[in-house]
Structure formats: C-alpha cells, structure tokens
Amino acid sequence: MTTTTTITVAGMTCGHCAGSVKEELSALPGVTDVEVDLVTGGDSPVTITSADELDDAAIRAAVDEAGYEVK
C-alpha cells in the first residue's frame, strides 16, 4: 500500500530550504518520495509518498529539524 500525505510548510525561501526539508522527510522510515512545490515567501505544499501512513508528530519533528514549521 502506498500513502500520499500533503502538508504545508512555512518559511522556505529558496531551493536550499526546500532541499533541507526534503532531506529530513526522506529520512523518515517508509518514505519513498518527497516533492516540494516551493512558494517563495509563502506557504509551500509538500507531498510525501510512503509505504505506510506516517505519524503527524514524526512529520512535524522532521520539518522542525530542518528549521521550518508545518502549518
């Protein structure tokens, strides 16, 4: 089973920001793909594809580790 989760991340301003978020989320167990649709200066949608449903707390912790906030 493949699960797709879409979150909104605030504070990203460049490709490096998006890369940091993608790297942290990709490290979560079961994650197979992370797509960041960067909205410079705004809230950016992030789509996470995983083998199983992800824990919201784990997603928030990974984004926080990258230095950003889930809206």
CATH code, domain carrying 34: 3.30.70.100
pTM score of the predicted model: 0.94
Domain count, the chain: 1
Q: How far apart are the first and last CA of the chain?
A: 27
Residue 69 has what pLDDT?
96
Q: Which domain holds residue 23?
A: 3-70
pLDDT tens-digit series, residues 40-49: 879 999 999 9
Percent of the chain's residues with pLDDT above 90 = 94
* Long-range contacts of the stretch 11-17 (C-beta < 8 A, 24+): 11/67, 11/68, 11/69, 12/36, 12/38, 12/39, 12/40, 12/44, 12/68, 13/40, 13/41, 14/38, 14/40, 17/66, 17/68
